[in-house]
Amino acid sequence: MLQMITRVQILWRVSLCAVLLFATAETLPFGAWRRVSNGPVISPRGISWESAGTFNPAVVRHDGQSVMLYRAQDQAGTSRLGYAESKDGIHFARRPEPVLSPETDYEKDGGVEDPRLVKFGATYYLTYTGYNKKDAQLCLATSTDLMHWHRKGVILPAYKGHWNVGWTKSGAIVPEKIDGKYWMYFLGTSADKTDQTGLAYSSDLIHWTEATDTPVVPRRPGQFDSRVVEPGPPPIVTSDGIILIYNAADDQLVYRTGIAGFDRRDPRKLIWRSDHPIFAPEEDWEKVGQVPNVVFVEGMVRQANHYLLYYGGADKYVGVAEAPVTH
């Protein structure tokens, strides 16, 4: 029986116990993760816009299907967003052309990177990184069909934050209003050149203001999140709290997955976080690619009694994991 348990499941169970002990009254909305397949579900193809890498996906349900926007990179290193659809959330059919390509000065040459998606009313809000080979800045676009996008510009400019004095990236918007405001966890670069998680708020989802003077999920020296603490998919809001999945890197830049729990009524208040990673690179295609040793979660969809979690592997591929819904 023991042989049937994977290393990931063993790691998850140990980590989950540690999280629950630390979280006391908090309850995670999902159980242990497992890979849906041993290989990627999206891989680079052709000689054009998605030939070098297809990774870091956002996924939502739309018109009865799972729609994925994934970062696609060409041989020159320019990124665009590809579009794929799936009935089961695992097997995807791709469109032949990207749905968002670099057009503005803040995207020129570098491109549009690392999407996150959330829906309010009939509108989808896409946060992404605009990169022009000089600066990376957190940007926003909106759509009603996930194919035609309207840019709203840079929403958190680089070099102008309270503590995030460098680039800005990775906007994970909380999927419901709290205390009359919209909230968004984001990545900023601090004065010591490490990347940490901050928080911003908005009254209209378009104009954002930094909410704190310090990171809300800081790095932890000597641990698996000593170098990078970067928001993953939009958080899950439960009756117990706000659950943020985050991407963490240590001093060797090995990327693993962590969890942080915030107060249900105050998104600024960190209640607990995992002492150990809950997901880590294990497959060859997660260890070898454009950037080695990376699992990077950006998409999450609940389907019936389980969550599907979508991640980039080694900055080259898209993988899928699943976790049972616990409550």
Going residue by residue through the chain (327 aa), what tens digit of pLDDT does each one get?
334 344 444 444 444 444 444 443 357 999 999 999 889 999 999 999 999 999 999 999 999 999 999 999 999 999 999 999 999 999 999 999 999 999 999 999 999 999 999 999 999 999 999 999 999 999 999 999 999 999 999 999 999 999 999 999 999 999 999 999 999 999 999 999 999 999 999 999 999 999 999 999 999 999 999 999 999 999 999 998 999 999 999 999 999 999 999 999 999 999 999 999 999 999 999 999 999 999 999 999 999 899 999 999 999 999 999 999 997
Q: What are the residue ranges of helices labelled H in 119-170?
A: none
For the chain, domain boundaries = 45-316
pLDDT score, position 304:
87
What would the CATH number be for the domain defined by 45-316? 2.115.10.20
127 with 116: CB under 8 angstroms?
yes
User: What pLDDT does residue 38 have?
Assistant: 84
pLDDT attached to residue 25: 36
Structure token pair of residue 101: 């390509």
| Secondary structure string (H, E, C) spanning 259-312 | EEEECCCCCCCEEEECCCCCECCCCHHHHCCCCCCEEEEEEEEEECCEEEEEEE
127 phi, psi to nearest 5 deg: -95, 140
Task: Give the pair of three-digit tokens for residue 307.
Answer: 């969550």
Please tell me the pTM assigned to this model: 0.92
CA proximity to 114, closest of 137, 142, 89: 137
DSSP element (H, E) containing 18: helix 7-23
Distance CA 245, CA 254 (A): 17
The closest of 319, 240, 308, 310 to 283, measured between CA atoms, is: 319
- Taking the C-alpha atoms of residue 302 and residue 305, their distance in angstroms, rounded to an integer, is 8
